[in-house]
Amino acid sequence: MIEDRREKILLKALELYMIEGYANVSITDLQSALNMGRGTLYYYFKDKDELFQEVVDEFLIKPKQRALERVKDTADIPEMIDAMLYYLNQLKEFHGQVENKNINTSNVVTVMYTAYSRFPELFKKARKMYERELTLWTQAIKNSMRAGVIRGDVPIEITAHMFLHVKDGWDPGRTGVPMNFDIFPQQYNYLYDLIKKN
């Protein structure tokens, strides 16, 4: 029960931060949205900053960490794609649990920039994951090249960055347009097909 209540708070906070922005959401706003006493909120989180950091960690950082932990240094490109789709499916699950379905890329990016500019520890975690993902994509490309599955003339570093940035491929954030998660498998597989040997 306790964990369920904490998760409920985090999920509602995520939704409000995505729609209204961190600066515009008070503990009172959250309390009202949850129909929950102020004391209950403060039982789980000491203040607004701690709550915000927990939201970002829970919904934006930990899912990526879990995905990257699945990848071995011997992974090839399909295994790396599977790991990233696992990450995106976690985000899709969270998105499916919030009431407001009009959360889009702009909302997510705004929360991320706020988190990383206000809280250096979150930025360090995110930067470390970015570097780890880039390393894993680079290794996966090399592994696939050694296995003879992709062409030998593929520029490894450029291609690694291209795979890494597939996740930037959401709609740029038109109001009222929800995120479309279905585009990612298509984009990953299209990029993979471009570098495969004939």
**3-state DSSP call for residue 150?**
strand
> Is residue 15 within 8 Å of residue 97, measured between CB atoms?
no
Residue 18: the pLDDT is: 86
Q: What is the pLDDT of residue 108?
A: 80
Average confidence (pLDDT) over 107-116: 86
CATH of the domain at 99: 1.10.357.10
pLDDT of 12 > 50? The answer is yes
- Phi and psi at 49, nearest 5°, equal -65, -45
For range 39-54, the mean pLDDT: 92
Read off the amino acid at residue 20. Answer: E
Please, which residues bridge with residue 150 across strands? 196
Total number of domains constituting the chain? 1
pLDDT (0 to 100) of residue 3:
65
- Quick one: tokens of 78? 């399909």
Which pLDDT score is estimated for 10? 94
Residue 175 has pLDDT above 60, yes or no: no
Q: How far, in Å, CA of 4 to CA of 1, rounded?
A: 5
- The reply to whether the predicted model has a pTM over 0.85 is yes
Highest mean pLDDT among 34-38, 40-44, 87-91, 151-155: 151-155
Domain membership of residue 33 as a residue range: 2-195
The residue among 61, 58, 63 whose CA lies nearest residue 8 is 58
Tell which phi-psi region holds residue 148, choosing left (phi > 0), alpha (psi between -120 and 50) or beta. Answer: left
Over residues 119-174, the pLDDT tens digits come to 999 999 999 999 999 999 999 999 999 999 999 999 999 999 999 998 775 555 55
Q: Is the pLDDT of residue 1 over 50?
A: no
pLDDT digits 0-9 by tens, 60-106: 899 999 999 999 999 999 999 999 999 999 988 888 888 877 777 77
Residue 117 has pLDDT above 60, yes or no: yes
φ, ψ dihedrals at 150, nearest 5°:
-115, 165
